[in-house]
Amino acid sequence: MILNTRAIIIKEFTVGEGDKYISLFSDKFGRINVSAKGTNHYNKGFTAGTQLFVYGNFNIKKTGDTYKLLNIEIMKTFHKLRNDIVALSYASFIAEFLNEVTKENSSNKNLLTLTLYTLHEITKNKLSSKLIRFVFEMRAMRYLGFMPNVITCTKCEKDLQTINIQKKYIFSIENGGLICDECNIKGLRLSVGTIYAFRYILNAPLKELYHFSIISNLAIEFCSISEKYSQYYIEKDFKTLQFINCL
């Protein structure tokens, strides 16, 4: 069976002297591992097209449970990511994140689109790479079925759409979102500005996702809560974060 799909390479590893396996995050088939023969010798097109972060049209032959690369039409290489160690580190985290949370035959086109916008944003250096990482993670949580509730009380469903700018609110990671005063559940104190940031990041059109500004103290609060939330629901240890935390 011949398959055609748009995908981005989220992992690559060489086998022997001239063969390679790549992990694709595909718009149609989720994450699939594909054999690419002769990437280091006779097929220079494969060499260029089988590198990490390459996005394009992939022609693949499926035989049973195995996939073999036939051809690549490169659409984007994200080459600029390799010019900066910080940008490359955060992009590598996104690739590792996708490797952990995506599955074969589980299409998630929104997550793929989010990934492409995010990698492009990292190359622009307008927002900090750290902030971009957590914006990506929280929007990804929506597409993975772990979207936090920042509109109503997660416990009693009281409407919290209109919020008092003079107050601080409780965010319960275990309960998955905001908690009203009446429910009296312990959690993290959340500024009103951070609630608005969450609402924007979870719901903005993807092409406008990174078109915002945020003051430093709210950015710190947003990143801190996002990190705790993601760790609680994803439950993975990412090797790339060990390096990022040393930068």
**In a structure prediction context, what are the per-residue pLDDT tens digits for the chain, which is 247 residues long?**
999 999 999 999 887 766 789 999 999 899 999 998 765 544 555 677 889 999 999 999 999 889 999 999 999 999 999 999 999 999 999 999 999 999 988 889 999 999 999 999 999 988 999 999 999 999 999 999 999 999 999 999 999 998 887 777 899 999 999 998 889 899 999 999 999 999 999 999 999 999 999 999 999 999 999 999 999 999 998 999 988 988 7
C-alpha–C-alpha distance, residues 43 and 213, integer Å: 45
**Could you tell me the two tokens for 235?**
């439950």
Write the CA distances from 69 to 16, 29, 38, 151, 175, integer angstroms: 17, 14, 11, 45, 44
C-alpha–C-alpha distance, residues 56 and 74, integer Å: 4
Q: Which residues make beta-bridge pairs with 191?
A: 168
Decide the pairing of beta strands 19-26 and 2-15.
antiparallel
Q: Which among 84, 92, 94, 27 has a CA at the least distance from the CA of 55?
A: 27
| 156, 182 Cβ separation under 8 angstroms | yes
**Could you tell me the two tokens for 11?**
């992992």
Q: Specify the amino acid at residue 96.
A: E
What pTM did the predictor assign? 0.92
C-alpha–C-alpha distance, residues 223 and 229, integer Å: 10
